[in-house]
Amino acid sequence: MNRFSKRPRPARQIRGLTSSEPGRPEVAVRTSVDVWLLRVSHLSTFGLFTLTLGTLYFTVIPLYQKAVLEESIAKMEVALRNLEKRSEEDYQVLRVYVVGTFSISSGFACSGMPVALEKQKQKDDLLGLTKILSIDIPDCLKRHLKKNAISLKQLRSEDYESVVEQIQKISAELELDQKKSLREFQELPARAQKDPSLLRPLEGWRAERDTQLAGIRSSNERDERRFKASIEQMQFKISDDFGQRVLTRIESLRALKWKDTVQIRSDEQKKGGPSK
101: pLDDT strictly greater than 60:
yes
- Identify the residue with better confidence: 207 or 106: 106
How high is the pLDDT of residue 73? Answer: 93
- Residue 262 has a pLDDT of 45
Q: Is the pLDDT of residue 18 over 80?
A: no
- pLDDT higher than 60, residue 120: no
Residue 17 banded pLDDT, cuts 50, 70, 90: very low
So what's the pLDDT on residue 122? 47
Residue 274, pLDDT score: 45
For position 219, what pLDDT does the model report? Answer: 67
**Which pLDDT does position 95 carry in this prediction?**
92
The answer to whether residue 273 scores a pLDDT higher than 60 is no
Q: Which residue has the higher pLDDT, 106 or 262?
A: 106
Q: Which of the residue ranges 85-99, 191-205, 231-245 has the most confident prediction, judged by mean pLDDT?
A: 85-99
Contact criterion met (CB below 8 Å) for 237 and 199: no
Between 52 and 80, where is the model more confident? 80
Q: What is the mean pLDDT of residues 8-27?
A: 48
The span from the CA of 112 to the CA of 135, in Å, is: 7
Q: Are 27 and 14 in contact (CB under 8 A)?
A: yes
Quick one: pLDDT at residue 13?
46
pLDDT attached to residue 114: 62
219/261: higher pLDDT: 219
Reported as a single tens digit per residue, the pLDDT across 131-185 is 778 888 999 999 999 998 889 989 998 999 999 999 999 999 999 999 999 999 8
Higher pLDDT among residues 274 and 95, named by residue: 95
pLDDT digits (tens, 9 = 90+) for 24-46: 544 444 577 777 888 788 888 88
Residue 134 and residue 126: Cα distance in Å, rounded?
14
What's the pLDDT score for residue 213? 65
Task: State the pLDDT at residue 15.
Answer: 47
